Amino acid sequence: MVLKEASQEWRNKSLLASMLIYVLGATFIVYYAFQGNIEFDIWAAVFWIIILFSSVNILGKSFDKEVKDQYYYLRSIVRPVELVLSKMIYNAILIFLFELIIFLEMTLFFGIEIEYPYIFYITLFLGGVGFSNLFTLFSTITARTGNIVLLSVLGFPIILPLLLLILRLTILSDIDVMIDDKWINIGAIAVLDLITLVLSVVLFPYLWSE
């Protein structure tokens, strides 16, 4: 199922191309606004804002095709849990790749050097997993109801604590503090990711079958 998602996305290159243009344009605008001089905490905030909007655009219509064109076919051959897990795995990989692209672009523009890169890459991975879990579930709700506003209404209260933890850990990746502080934040993000995973696995079969 993960390979199916990848091949289907590859056939629809317009979304990925438009997102790459958006990322490049947003990075250049930030570079132009700050004239290439930016503090790391501001850089981190802008970095995750770009990733957040990219995730919403990429994953917001994640289930549109399945609901409109393939709903009865998929219901007959795939269990709901297998479907949502394959979606979340693929979306997490896609978001992580976009995170790396955005990081490379912003590093190229601003020349940022992170003191503890392994902490930063862990943050990217956990952040991508969290965004994938949440927005995959929310895209199911919006696809079934046809109300895209629900994505914002439902997503913001849940994504905010995750986003704040991710931003804090990103800033800590460039600060020489006790390693325990960093691992506490990593653990908190991992717990949120696990909660959203369980929530998606439990709720998706009910949303999919209605």
Query: pLDDT at residue 119 above 70?
Result: yes
**Amino acid at residue number 164:** L
Q: How confident is the model at residue 132 (pLDDT cuts 50, 70, 90)?
A: confident
For residue 81, pLDDT beyond 90 = no
User: pLDDT digits over 174-206, tens only?
Assistant: 887 666 778 888 899 999 999 888 888 887 777
Task: Write down the pLDDT at residue 175.
Answer: 80
Contacts of 193-199 with C-beta under 8 Å, sequence gap 24+, read 193/126, 193/129, 193/130, 193/133, 196/130, 196/133, 196/134, 196/137, 196/158, 196/162, 197/88, 197/129, 197/133, 199/133, 199/137
Mean pLDDT, residues 153-175: 83
Average pLDDT over residues 146-159: 66
Q: In total, how many domains does the chain have?
A: 1
This model's pTM is above 0.85:
no
Q: How far apart are CA 100 and CA 124, in angstroms?
A: 8
173 close to 116: Cβ distance less than 8 angstroms: yes
Distance between CA atoms of residues 59 and 62, nearest Å? 5
Instruction: Provide the pLDDT confidence category of residue 126 given band limits of 50, 70 and 90.
Output: very high
Comparison of pLDDT for 21 and 4, the residue scoring more: 21
Does the pLDDT value for residue 45 go beyond 80?
A: yes
- Domain hosting 132: range is 2-209
